[in-house]
């Protein structure tokens, strides 16, 4: 079944995708293939000390989002921005369906769904005024 809305919460290790309609919810977790990665920057070392973004991981998240008509991207750090940039560069059709990118710490699945419902309710109300 095609769901109207989807929310993705991600960091550089995991992504939770929840797609939903008025009366149905479906959740998927996508794990980074490399498992837990903790990167530390050493003083005097060259480079930024930041991890490289994993295209394969981001592509798996795109697949998990399916054909949801509206997508909200959330997360605690920079992965949400890197994911959004990846989608813009490599998945133009999905990029057009992203309605927002927001900072959200580490919510439970219920908290994530409640937040997404509130955001989409506001978006739907604004679009209804046109």
Q: What percent of the chain has pLDDT over 70?
A: 81
How high does pLDDT run on average in the chain? 85
In 3D, which of 12, 9, 8, 54 has the Cα closest to residue 37?
A: 12
Bridge partners, residue 8, by sequence: 17, 73
> What is the per-residue pLDDT for 33?
81
Indicate the CATH number of 5-32+51-128 among 3.30.420.60, 1.20.1270.10, 3.40.50.720, 3.30.930.10: 3.30.420.60
* Residue partners of 71: CB distance under 8 A and separation at least 6: 5, 6, 7, 8, 65, 94, 97, 98, 99
Domains in the chain: boundaries: 5-32+51-128
Reported as a single tens digit per residue, the pLDDT across 24-79 is 899 999 998 865 444 444 444 444 444 456 899 999 999 999 999 999 999 999 99
User: What SS3 state is found at 128?
Assistant: helix
Position 18 pLDDT exceeds 70? yes
User: What SS3 state is found at 114?
Assistant: helix
pLDDT category at 124 given cuts 50, 70, 90 is: confident
pTM (predicted TM-score): 0.82
Structure tokens at 104: 């959200």
* Section 85-109 average pLDDT: 97
* Section 66-93 average pLDDT: 96
Sign of the four-CA dihedral 63, 30, 72, 99: negative
């Amino acid at each position: 079944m095609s769901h109207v809305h989807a929310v993705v919460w991600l960091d550089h290790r995991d992504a939770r995708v929840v797609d939903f309609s008025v009366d149905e919810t479906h959740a998927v977790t996508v794990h980074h293939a490399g498992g837990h990665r903790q990167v530390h920057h050493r003083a005097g070392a060259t480079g930024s000390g930041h991890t490289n973004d994993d295209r394969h991981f981001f592509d798996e998240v795109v697949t998990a989002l399916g054909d949801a008509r509206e997508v909200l991207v959330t997360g605690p750090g920079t992965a949400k921005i890197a994911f959004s940039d990846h989608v813009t560069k490599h998945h133009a059709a999905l990029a057009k369906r992203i309605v927002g990118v927001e900072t959200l710490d580490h919510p439970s699945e219920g908290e994530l769904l409640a937040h997404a419902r509130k955001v989409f309710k506001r978006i739907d109300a604004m679009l209804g005024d046109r």
